[in-house]
């Protein structure tokens, strides 16, 4: 910025003056913007290409709403449900943000499936796009992982049991299944350690992987170039290109606007419910996963016993490996769907299979009177819980908690003796201690009742110096006072 | 793996590299429009986020719920301060704690009913009423107070603190508060 500073940057950059010019010389912002916006698309802009940007937008929205929800959320089995209830019922806009985050997860899966289908049907994984496809597959897995881990966090009945079933399903994997389930849950049972693990995965681990993979996905996409329409050669584009900006940008933004409007209206008018707090003892609860996991849920029903290795491990493994390895297996440069009967047949089979499994699951639930009845009951319980006003959690230091400990009537009487003689003046309410005298909480570990009685009658020199008078109450009062002090833990 | 064809995308890019955008007014106008639109939509969307984040600050400060002390008839013939245990509820975000406090129902210098906090204004010990001496005596440092709570002797810098009373349906209620210790003037804490 010094007047004698040597000229820097190339001619076009240094030609700019003022703040914009300085910023440009320092950052190369204009070049970056030009690279980003002038990407040529062979054959021109099309609505079919909008899903990738849509996904980026929803991911951004999930990050923002997620960060804000974390302002109030506490990942622990004894607070998670209360804090989500607080967000939903008390905090301004809390129900809206939580609904936005929850619907956003479903929207993410839907747009992801559309993005994947478009890439597959257009043969846009062909040519030099193997790694682009593989990174996309990894992102798909991570998004499903986000949905799975996030679902548990509210710790209501629905979340608890769906995750119990989900983690149980993993134990069906031969040999390592049990260990894997224990690893996920942080123990054999679901509990507060499960929440911690799912929270860390949902908030730190998976998002970090998604950031890295989204960056490499976009980098690989720009490196290979857009594939263009189905008639285009995946290696040697021939069609007249059109830059990304403005027409494709406008199309992408129209999907974003549609998503904002759709999710916003949905979240505003149809709040995502929160059910009663998880009660692991509820043996009647019929757990059901979120819609995108229904096909897997249904599929697992068909595999039991020794055959389960095939259904739980071998078939899914073949499928996953087949999908990931697709661009390596399918090396033809033919992209027109009508010339790729095998690929399209496999797609139709898989899509119909998944949709069919999901519908079958719904159908079975509707036509099983026991399950249908229980599901209706669960829905009513959820609605009833939503109508109840928010109930704050009693802090553990609270009186209610202290009184629970005083189930012993002798100790309860001792408490009145303690207060009537102003012992609490120095030793504090509940014997927590003050500046004037030490706490009595936990003294039972040091002195047995006889030793306490002895100390009451003959305080030590140190106690006397601190102002503790000898205590000579009637025997029944002494007994109850000692019982009370012994109960302070 | 078709590597011989790898370099062609760069060649294609060069061949088709779009002409330097004419310093067209249309392009920059569209850009400005999009930027403005994005800022507006972004601004609109950030409203619920800001309200959500500022909720604890913007919330109408709900007053402390009054704690019942007892029916007025209990206190019509007071000869000396009467100790009562009250429960106060404190809300902290999504948690609440209930604690018990001792208060004294007594009469002030004008003979009006008033309620004293038992927390010593010196260092916060609980001050008991000593009937034989007809005064409050703090067991910690020997501060003494008259039956109406005014300071008599000892280290406290002021008398015992009176609490705000509410009378509703013949019930005496108070709003329990803590006051700063070691100062001569009553000053609410928290």
Find chain B residues with C-beta within 8 A of A94's C-beta.
52, 55
Tell me how close the Cα of B101 comes to any Cα of chain A, in angstroms.
Answer: 8
B100 and A96 in contact by Cβ < 8 A? no
Spell out the domain ranges in chain B.
3-57, 67-189
Tell me how close the Cα of B113 comes to any Cα of chain A, in angstroms.
Answer: 23
The size of the A-B interface in CB pairs under 8 A is: 139
* Mean pLDDT value across residues B37-44: 91
**pLDDT for B49-65, tens place per residue?**
999 999 988 876 555 67
Tell whether the model's pLDDT for residue B190 goes beyond 70.
no
Find chain B residues with C-beta within 8 A of A30's C-beta.
none
Find chain A residues with C-beta within 8 A of B55's C-beta.
90-94
Q: Given CB atoms, is B68 within the 8 Å cutoff of chain A? A: no
Q: What is the pLDDT of residue B8?
A: 64
Residue A345 and residue A239 in contact, taking contact as beta carbons nearer than 8 Å: no
Q: Report the alpha-carbon distance of residue B151 to residue B122 in Å, rounded.
A: 11
Spell out the domain ranges in chain A.
1-35, 38-387, 399-487
Residue B18 and residue A39 in contact, taking contact as beta carbons nearer than 8 Å: no
What is the value of ipTM here, to two decimals? 0.82
Q: Given CB atoms, is A331 within the 8 Å cutoff of chain B? A: yes
Tell me how close the Cα of B18 comes to any Cα of chain A, in angstroms.
Answer: 7
Q: What is the pLDDT of residue A7?
A: 45
Tell me how close the Cα of A476 comes to any Cα of chain B, in angstroms.
Answer: 23
Q: What is the pLDDT of residue B15?
A: 67
* Mean pLDDT value across residues B87-93: 82
Q: What is the pLDDT of residue A336?
A: 94
Q: B residues 80-119 near A, CB within 8 Å?
A: 85, 87, 91-102
Tell me how close the Cα of A429 comes to any Cα of chain B, in angstroms.
Answer: 8
Backbone angles phi, psi at A388, to 5 degrees: -65, 145
A467 and B52 in contact by Cβ < 8 A? no
Q: What is the pLDDT of residue B88?
A: 82
Mention the CATH class of domain A399-487.
mainly alpha
Q: What is the pLDDT of residue A9?
A: 44
Q: Report the alpha-carbon distance of residue B29 to residue B70 in Å, rounded.
A: 74
Q: Given CB atoms, is A471 within the 8 Å cutoff of chain B? A: no
Work out the burial of residue A215: count CB atoms within 10 Å of its CB; fewer than 13 is exposed, 13-18 middle, 19 or more buried.
exposed
Structural domain B67-189, CATH architecture: 3-layer Sandwich (2.102)
Question: What is the average pLDDT score of chain B?
Answer: 83
Q: What is the pLDDT of residue A356?
A: 97
Can you give the pLDDT of all 489 residues of chain A as single tens digits? 444 444 444 445 456 788 988 998 899 988 888 888 888 999 999 999 999 999 999 999 999 999 999 999 999 999 999 999 999 999 999 999 999 999 999 999 999 999 999 999 999 999 999 999 999 999 999 999 999 999 999 999 999 999 999 998 888 888 888 999 999 999 999 999 999 999 999 999 999 999 999 999 999 999 999 999 999 999 888 888 999 988 999 999 999 999 999 999 999 999 999 999 999 898 889 999 999 999 999 998 898 878 888 888 899 999 999 999 999 999 999 999 999 999 999 999 999 999 999 999 999 999 999 999 999 999 999 999 999 999 988 876 665 545 555 677 888 888 878 877 778 777 877 787 777 788 888 888 888 888 888 888 888 888 888 778 788 888 888 888 888 888 887
B100 and A400 in contact by Cβ < 8 A? no
Tell me how close the Cα of B48 comes to any Cα of chain A, in angstroms.
Answer: 6
Of B16, B45, B94, the CB nearest to A241: B16
Q: Report the alpha-carbon distance of residue B98 to residue B91 in Å, rounded.
A: 9
Q: What is the pLDDT of residue A8?
A: 45
* Mean pLDDT value across residues B139-157: 89
Mutation target among A133, A392, A418 for the B interface, most CBs of B within 10 A: A392
Tell whether the model's pLDDT for residue B28 goes beyond 70.
yes
Q: Report the alpha-carbon distance of residue A326 to residue A125 in Å, rounded.
A: 8
Q: Given CB atoms, is B52 within the 8 Å cutoff of chain A? A: yes
Residue B125: closest CA among chain A residues belongs to which residue?
Answer: A425
Of A64, A237, A425, the CB nearest to B126: A425
Of A394, A425, A429, the CB nearest to B128: A425
Find chain A residues with C-beta within 8 A of B51's C-beta.
92-93
Element (DSSP H or E) covering residue B29: helix B25-53
Of B21, B55, B124, the CB nearest to A91: B55
Tell me how close the Cα of A42 comes to any Cα of chain B, in angstroms.
Answer: 9
Residue A242: closest CA among chain B residues belongs to which residue?
Answer: B18
Q: Given CB atoms, is B133 within the 8 Å cutoff of chain A? A: no
Find chain A residues with C-beta within 8 A of B85's C-beta.
419
Q: What is the pLDDT of residue B2?
A: 45
**pLDDT for B2-15, tens place per residue?**
445 555 667 677 76
Domain A38-387 and domain A399-487, same fold? Reply is no
Q: What is the pLDDT of residue A403?
A: 59
Q: Given CB atoms, is B153 within the 8 Å cutoff of chain A? A: no
pTM of the predicted model, to two decimals?
Answer: 0.82
Q: What is the pLDDT of residue A194?
A: 96
B126 and A91 in contact by Cβ < 8 A? no
β pairing state of A393-394 and B95-107:
parallel
Q: What is the pLDDT of residue A291?
A: 93
CATH of A38-387, one of 3.40.50.300, 3.50.50.60, 1.20.810.10, 1.10.1740.10: 1.20.810.10
Residue A295 and residue A358 in contact, taking contact as beta carbons nearer than 8 Å: yes
**Dihedral sign, Cα of residue A56, residue A61, residue A64, residue A65:** negative
Find chain A residues with C-beta within 8 A of B132's C-beta.
none
B87 and A400 in contact by Cβ < 8 A? no
A83 and B94 in contact by Cβ < 8 A? yes
Of B5, B97, B141, the CB nearest to A397: B97
């Amino acid at each position: 910025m010094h007047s004698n500073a040597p000229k820097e940057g190339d001619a076009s950059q240094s030609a700019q003056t003022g703040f914009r010019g300085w910023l440009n010389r320092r950052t190369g912002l204009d070049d970056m913007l030009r690279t980003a916006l002038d990407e040529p698309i062979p054959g021109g802009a099309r609505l079919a290409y909008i899903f990738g940007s849509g996904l980026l937008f929803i991911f951004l929205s999930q990050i923002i709403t997620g960060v804000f929800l974390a302002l109030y959320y506490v990942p622990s089995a004894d607070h998670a449900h209360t804090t989500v209830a607080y967000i939903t019922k008390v905090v301004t806009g809390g129900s809206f943000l939580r609904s936005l985050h929850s619907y956003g997860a479903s929207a993410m899966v839907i747009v992801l499936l559309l993005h994947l289908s478009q890439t597959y049907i257009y043969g846009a994984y062909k040519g030099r796009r193997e790694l682009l496809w593989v990174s996309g597959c990894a992102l798909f897995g991570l998004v499903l992982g986000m949905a799975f881990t996030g679902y548990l966090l509210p710790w209501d009945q629905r979340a608890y049991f769906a995750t119990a079933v989900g983690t149980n399903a993993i134990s069906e994997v031969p040999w390592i299944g049990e260990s894997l389930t224990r690893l996920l849950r942080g123990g054999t049972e679901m509990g507060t350690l499960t929440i911690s693990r799912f929270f860390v995965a949902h908030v730190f681990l998976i998002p970090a992987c998604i950031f890295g993979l989204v960056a490499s996905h976009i980098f690989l996409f720009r490196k290979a170039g857009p594939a263009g329409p189905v008639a285009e050669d995946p290696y040697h584009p021939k069609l007249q290109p059109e830059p990304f900006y403005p027409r494709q940008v406008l199309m992408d933004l129209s999907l974003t606007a549609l998503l904002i409007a759709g999710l916003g209206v949905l979240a505003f008018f149809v709040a995502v419910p929160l059910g009663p707090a998880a009660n692991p003892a509820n043996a009647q609860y019929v757990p059901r996963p979120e819609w995108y996991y229904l096909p897997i849920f249904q599929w697992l029903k068909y595999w039991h016993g020794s055959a389960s290795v095939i259904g739980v491990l071998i078939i899914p493994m073949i499928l996953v490996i087949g999908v990931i390895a697709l661009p390596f297996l399918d090396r033809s440069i033919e992209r027109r769907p009508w010339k790729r009967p095998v690929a399209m047949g496999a797609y139709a089979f898989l899509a119909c299979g998944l949709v069919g499994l999901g519908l079958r699951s719904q159908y079975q639930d509707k036509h099983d009177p026991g399950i249908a009845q229980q599901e209706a009951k669960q829905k009513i319980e959820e609605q009833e819980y939503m109508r109840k006003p928010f109930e704050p959690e009693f802090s553990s230091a609270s009186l209610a908690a202290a009184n629970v400990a005083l189930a012993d009537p002798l100790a309860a009487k001792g408490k009145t003796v303690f207060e009537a003689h102003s012992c609490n003046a120095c030793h504090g309410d509940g014997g927590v201690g003050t500046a004037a005298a030490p706490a009595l909480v936990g003294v039972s570990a040091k002195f047995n009742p006889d030793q306490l009685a002895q100390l009451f009658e003959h305080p030590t020199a140190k106690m006397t110096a601190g102002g503790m008078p000898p205590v000579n109450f009637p025997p029944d009062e002494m007994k109850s006072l000692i019982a009370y002090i012994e109960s302070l833990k | 793996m078709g590597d011989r064809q790898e370099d062609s995308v760069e060649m294609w890019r060069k061949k088709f590299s779009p002409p330097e955008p004419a310093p067209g007014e249309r392009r920059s106008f569209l850009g400005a429009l999009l930027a403005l639109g994005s800022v507006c939509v972004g601004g609109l969307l950030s409203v619920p986020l800001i309200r959500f984040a500022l909720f604890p600050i913007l919330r109408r400060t709900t007053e402390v719920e009054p704690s019942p002390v007892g029916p007025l008839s209990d206190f019509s013939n007071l000869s000396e301060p009467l100790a009562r245990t009250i429960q106060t509820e404190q809300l902290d975000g999504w948690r609440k704690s209930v604690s018990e406090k001792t208060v004294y129902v007594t009469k002030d210098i004008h003979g009006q009913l008033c309620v004293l906090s038992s927390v010593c204004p010196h260092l916060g010990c609980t001050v008991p009423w000593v009937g034989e001496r007809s005064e409050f005596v703090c067991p910690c440092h020997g501060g003494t107070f008259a039956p109406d709570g005014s300071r008599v002797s000892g280290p406290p810098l002021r008398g015992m603190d009176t609490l705000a009373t509410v009378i509703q349906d013949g019930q005496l209620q108070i709003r329990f508060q803590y006051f700063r210790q070691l100062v001569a003037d009553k000053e609410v804490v928290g």
